[in-house]
A and B are shown apart, each in its own frame.
Chain A
Amino acid sequence: MNAIMPPLVIDVRVREEGSRGFRIWFPFVILWPLLLIIVGFAFVVALLVDLALLLADSRYHHYTLLLFHSLQLLAAIRGTHAHIDSETALVDVNVY
Protein backbone atom coordinates (compact mmCIF):
# COMPACT_ATOMS: atom_id res chain seq x y z
CA MET A 1 0.00 0.00 0.00
CA ASN A 2 2.88 2.30 0.92
CA ALA A 3 4.34 1.74 -2.56
CA ILE A 4 1.38 3.44 -4.23
CA MET A 5 0.66 6.12 -1.63
CA PRO A 6 0.95 9.54 -3.30
CA PRO A 7 2.80 12.41 -1.61
CA LEU A 8 1.21 14.04 1.45
CA VAL A 9 2.71 17.50 1.24
CA ILE A 10 4.77 19.37 -1.33
CA ASP A 11 6.82 22.26 0.02
CA VAL A 12 8.59 24.64 -2.38
CA ARG A 13 10.50 27.69 -1.16
CA VAL A 14 12.26 30.17 -3.46
CA ARG A 15 14.10 33.27 -2.31
CA GLU A 16 16.02 35.54 -4.65
CA GLU A 17 18.34 38.39 -3.83
CA GLY A 18 16.44 41.65 -3.78
CA SER A 19 13.00 40.06 -3.62
CA ARG A 20 10.86 38.55 -0.91
CA GLY A 21 10.56 35.23 -2.70
CA PHE A 22 7.70 32.83 -2.17
CA ARG A 23 6.76 29.60 -0.50
CA ILE A 24 4.20 27.05 -1.63
CA TRP A 25 3.18 24.57 1.00
CA PHE A 26 0.66 22.39 -0.76
CA PRO A 27 -1.11 19.62 1.15
CA PHE A 28 -1.41 17.15 -1.71
CA VAL A 29 -3.38 14.92 0.63
CA ILE A 30 -6.52 17.02 -0.03
CA LEU A 31 -6.42 15.82 -3.64
CA TRP A 32 -6.37 12.17 -2.60
CA PRO A 33 -10.19 11.64 -2.65
CA LEU A 34 -10.38 13.13 -6.16
CA LEU A 35 -7.38 11.05 -7.26
CA LEU A 36 -8.99 7.93 -5.81
CA ILE A 37 -12.13 8.46 -7.91
CA ILE A 38 -10.15 9.16 -11.11
CA VAL A 39 -7.75 6.25 -10.57
CA GLY A 40 -10.59 3.87 -9.65
CA PHE A 41 -12.42 4.75 -12.86
CA ALA A 42 -9.22 4.52 -14.92
CA PHE A 43 -8.44 1.09 -13.45
CA VAL A 44 -11.87 -0.25 -14.47
CA VAL A 45 -11.46 1.13 -18.01
CA ALA A 46 -7.89 -0.20 -18.28
CA LEU A 47 -8.99 -3.64 -17.08
CA LEU A 48 -11.77 -3.77 -19.67
CA VAL A 49 -9.40 -2.61 -22.43
CA ASP A 50 -6.78 -5.19 -21.42
CA LEU A 51 -9.40 -7.92 -21.34
CA ALA A 52 -10.65 -6.94 -24.80
CA LEU A 53 -7.05 -6.84 -26.14
CA LEU A 54 -6.33 -10.23 -24.59
CA LEU A 55 -9.44 -11.74 -26.18
CA ALA A 56 -8.47 -10.15 -29.51
CA ASP A 57 -5.10 -11.92 -29.15
CA SER A 58 -3.19 -8.64 -29.08
CA ARG A 59 0.45 -8.77 -27.99
CA TYR A 60 0.11 -5.66 -25.86
CA HIS A 61 -2.42 -5.79 -23.01
CA HIS A 62 -0.65 -4.05 -20.14
CA TYR A 63 -2.62 -0.81 -19.68
CA THR A 64 -3.63 -1.77 -16.13
CA LEU A 65 0.00 -2.44 -15.21
CA LEU A 66 1.01 0.80 -16.90
CA LEU A 67 -1.48 2.68 -14.73
CA PHE A 68 -0.32 0.85 -11.60
CA HIS A 69 3.32 1.69 -12.29
CA SER A 70 2.38 5.32 -13.01
CA LEU A 71 0.91 5.44 -9.50
CA GLN A 72 4.09 3.88 -8.14
CA LEU A 73 6.10 6.58 -9.91
CA LEU A 74 3.97 9.28 -8.29
CA ALA A 75 4.40 7.59 -4.90
CA ALA A 76 8.16 7.27 -5.38
CA ILE A 77 8.51 11.06 -5.45
CA ARG A 78 7.95 11.04 -1.68
CA GLY A 79 11.23 11.62 0.10
CA THR A 80 12.71 13.88 -2.57
CA HIS A 81 14.59 16.83 -1.13
CA ALA A 82 16.52 19.49 -2.97
CA HIS A 83 18.33 22.41 -1.38
CA ILE A 84 20.23 24.85 -3.56
CA ASP A 85 21.92 27.78 -1.92
CA SER A 86 23.75 30.11 -4.30
CA GLU A 87 24.95 33.67 -3.94
CA THR A 88 21.79 35.07 -5.49
CA ALA A 89 19.07 32.53 -4.71
CA LEU A 90 17.90 29.92 -2.29
CA VAL A 91 15.68 27.08 -3.48
CA ASP A 92 14.20 24.40 -1.27
CA VAL A 93 12.00 21.61 -2.56
CA ASN A 94 10.68 18.96 -0.21
CA VAL A 95 8.17 16.22 -0.97
CA TYR A 96 6.75 14.37 2.03
Chain B
Amino acid sequence: MSEDRKRILGMLAEGKITADEADLLLDSLGSTAEETTPTTPAPSSNNWPTGPAEAGSKPKFMYVKVFGGKDTVDVKVPLGLLRAGLKLTSLIPAQAMEQINESMSAQGMSFDMNNLKPEDIEALIENLGEMEVNIASGDGDHVRVFCA
Protein backbone atom coordinates (compact mmCIF):
# COMPACT_ATOMS: atom_id res chain seq x y z
CA MET B 1 0.00 0.00 0.00
CA SER B 2 1.39 3.41 -0.94
CA GLU B 3 2.09 6.11 1.66
CA ASP B 4 -0.54 8.42 0.14
CA ARG B 5 -3.19 5.70 0.29
CA LYS B 6 -2.30 5.00 3.96
CA ARG B 7 -2.49 8.71 4.77
CA ILE B 8 -5.95 9.02 3.21
CA LEU B 9 -7.23 5.95 5.07
CA GLY B 10 -5.68 7.29 8.29
CA MET B 11 -7.51 10.60 7.82
CA LEU B 12 -10.74 8.67 7.27
CA ALA B 13 -10.17 6.60 10.42
CA GLU B 14 -9.47 9.76 12.42
CA GLY B 15 -12.68 11.28 11.14
CA LYS B 16 -10.92 14.19 9.45
CA ILE B 17 -12.59 13.38 6.13
CA THR B 18 -15.82 11.66 5.15
CA ALA B 19 -16.05 8.33 3.31
CA ASP B 20 -17.10 10.17 0.12
CA GLU B 21 -14.11 12.49 0.35
CA ALA B 22 -11.79 9.52 0.94
CA ASP B 23 -13.27 7.76 -2.07
CA LEU B 24 -12.72 10.87 -4.20
CA LEU B 25 -9.15 11.21 -2.99
CA LEU B 26 -8.38 7.52 -3.61
CA ASP B 27 -9.87 7.80 -7.11
CA SER B 28 -7.75 10.86 -7.90
CA LEU B 29 -4.69 9.06 -6.54
CA GLY B 30 -5.32 6.15 -8.87
CA SER B 31 -5.80 8.35 -11.93
CA THR B 32 -2.67 10.37 -11.08
CA ALA B 33 -0.63 7.18 -10.93
CA GLU B 34 -2.02 6.08 -14.29
CA GLU B 35 -1.24 9.44 -15.88
CA THR B 36 2.30 9.70 -14.56
CA THR B 37 3.47 6.13 -15.18
CA PRO B 38 5.09 5.99 -18.61
CA THR B 39 3.75 3.34 -20.92
CA THR B 40 7.27 2.52 -22.08
CA PRO B 41 9.66 1.25 -19.42
CA ALA B 42 13.01 3.01 -19.17
CA PRO B 43 15.55 0.99 -21.13
CA SER B 44 18.45 -0.29 -19.10
CA SER B 45 21.92 0.57 -20.34
CA ASN B 46 25.15 -0.59 -18.71
CA ASN B 47 23.13 -2.75 -16.29
CA TRP B 48 21.72 0.38 -14.66
CA PRO B 49 18.51 -0.07 -12.67
CA THR B 50 15.29 0.79 -14.45
CA GLY B 51 13.40 2.02 -11.41
CA PRO B 52 13.76 3.45 -7.92
CA ALA B 53 15.41 1.59 -5.08
CA GLU B 54 13.33 -0.84 -3.04
CA ALA B 55 11.89 0.47 0.22
CA GLY B 56 14.43 0.36 3.01
CA SER B 57 17.52 0.27 0.80
CA LYS B 58 19.72 3.34 0.73
CA PRO B 59 19.96 4.96 -2.72
CA LYS B 60 23.47 5.52 -4.07
CA PHE B 61 22.91 7.20 -7.41
CA MET B 62 20.46 9.56 -9.05
CA TYR B 63 19.48 8.52 -12.56
CA VAL B 64 18.13 10.79 -15.27
CA LYS B 65 16.89 9.06 -18.39
CA VAL B 66 15.39 10.52 -21.53
CA PHE B 67 14.22 7.97 -24.05
CA GLY B 68 11.58 7.16 -26.61
CA GLY B 69 12.21 10.20 -28.83
CA LYS B 70 15.03 11.30 -31.11
CA ASP B 71 17.46 11.96 -28.27
CA THR B 72 18.70 9.56 -25.65
CA VAL B 73 20.11 10.78 -22.35
CA ASP B 74 21.48 8.57 -19.61
CA VAL B 75 22.95 10.35 -16.60
CA LYS B 76 24.09 8.73 -13.38
CA VAL B 77 25.17 11.03 -10.55
CA PRO B 78 26.45 9.69 -7.22
CA LEU B 79 24.33 10.91 -4.30
CA GLY B 80 27.61 11.21 -2.40
CA LEU B 81 28.20 14.31 -4.52
CA LEU B 82 25.02 15.87 -3.12
CA ARG B 83 25.97 14.83 0.41
CA ALA B 84 29.50 16.24 0.10
CA GLY B 85 28.20 19.43 -1.52
CA LEU B 86 25.65 20.05 1.21
CA LYS B 87 28.20 19.32 3.95
CA LEU B 88 30.58 21.75 2.32
CA THR B 89 27.80 24.33 2.14
CA SER B 90 27.18 24.03 5.87
CA LEU B 91 30.83 24.99 6.50
CA ILE B 92 30.94 28.13 4.40
CA PRO B 93 31.76 31.17 6.60
CA ALA B 94 28.72 33.21 7.69
CA GLN B 95 29.71 36.34 5.74
CA ALA B 96 30.01 34.38 2.49
CA MET B 97 26.80 32.50 3.25
CA GLU B 98 24.89 35.76 3.71
CA GLN B 99 25.99 36.83 0.23
CA ILE B 100 24.95 33.46 -1.22
CA ASN B 101 21.55 33.66 0.47
CA GLU B 102 21.06 37.20 -0.82
CA SER B 103 21.94 36.15 -4.38
CA MET B 104 19.61 33.16 -4.15
CA SER B 105 16.84 35.34 -2.78
CA ALA B 106 17.31 37.76 -5.68
CA GLN B 107 16.83 34.81 -8.03
CA GLY B 108 13.58 33.92 -6.31
CA MET B 109 14.92 31.11 -4.12
CA SER B 110 14.33 32.12 -0.52
CA PHE B 111 16.18 29.29 1.12
CA ASP B 112 18.52 29.81 4.06
CA MET B 113 21.47 27.46 3.64
CA ASN B 114 22.40 28.05 7.31
CA ASN B 115 19.40 25.93 8.29
CA LEU B 116 20.89 22.82 6.74
CA LYS B 117 22.02 20.42 9.45
CA PRO B 118 24.00 17.18 8.88
CA GLU B 119 21.08 15.05 10.10
CA ASP B 120 18.75 16.85 7.68
CA ILE B 121 21.15 16.07 4.82
CA GLU B 122 21.10 12.33 5.62
CA ALA B 123 17.31 12.34 5.94
CA LEU B 124 17.00 14.22 2.65
CA ILE B 125 19.21 11.71 0.81
CA GLU B 126 17.49 8.72 2.41
CA ASN B 127 14.08 10.00 1.34
CA LEU B 128 15.26 10.66 -2.20
CA GLY B 129 14.90 6.90 -2.70
CA GLU B 130 11.14 7.36 -2.72
CA MET B 131 11.27 10.14 -5.30
CA GLU B 132 10.35 9.35 -8.86
CA VAL B 133 9.60 11.74 -11.70
CA ASN B 134 7.97 10.45 -14.86
CA ILE B 135 7.22 12.80 -17.73
CA ALA B 136 5.77 11.69 -21.03
CA SER B 137 5.79 14.48 -23.59
CA GLY B 138 3.55 14.73 -26.61
CA ASP B 139 6.40 14.14 -29.07
CA GLY B 140 7.16 10.71 -27.63
CA ASP B 141 9.95 11.67 -25.25
CA HIS B 142 9.90 10.08 -21.83
CA VAL B 143 11.85 11.62 -18.96
CA ARG B 144 12.47 9.58 -15.87
CA VAL B 145 14.31 10.70 -12.73
CA PHE B 146 14.81 8.38 -9.80
CA CYS B 147 17.34 7.33 -7.17
CA ALA B 148 18.55 3.78 -6.67
Contacts and interface: CB of A to CB of B under 8 A. Distances in A.
A34 to B, nearest CB: 22
Interface string B78-94: 10110111011001111
A73 B88 contact: yes
Interface residues of A, number: 23
B87 A85 contact: no
A80 interface: yes
A82 interface: yes
A72 B86 CA distance: 11
A72 B84 contact: yes
Interface string A45-64: 00000000000000110100
Interface residues of B, number: 23
B74 interface: yes
Given A73-B84, A73-B85, A83-B45, A78 B78 contact: yes
B74 A82 contact: yes
A76 B91 contact: no
Interface string B98-109: 000000000000
A81 B62 CA distance: 11
A66 interface: yes
A5 to B, nearest CB: 12
Contacts of B77: 80
Contacts of B45: 83
A64 B51 CA distance: 39
Interface stretch (B4-12, B13-21, B65-73): B65-73
B75 A82 contact: yes
Interface of A: 3, 59-60, 62, 65-66, 69-70, 72-73, 75-87
Interface of B: 45-46, 61, 70-78, 80-81, 83-85, 87-88, 91-94
Given A81-B74, A82-B73, 10 more contacts: A59-B94, A66-B88, A66-B92, A69-B87, A72-B88, A73-B84, A76-B78, A81-B46, A84-B74, A85-B72
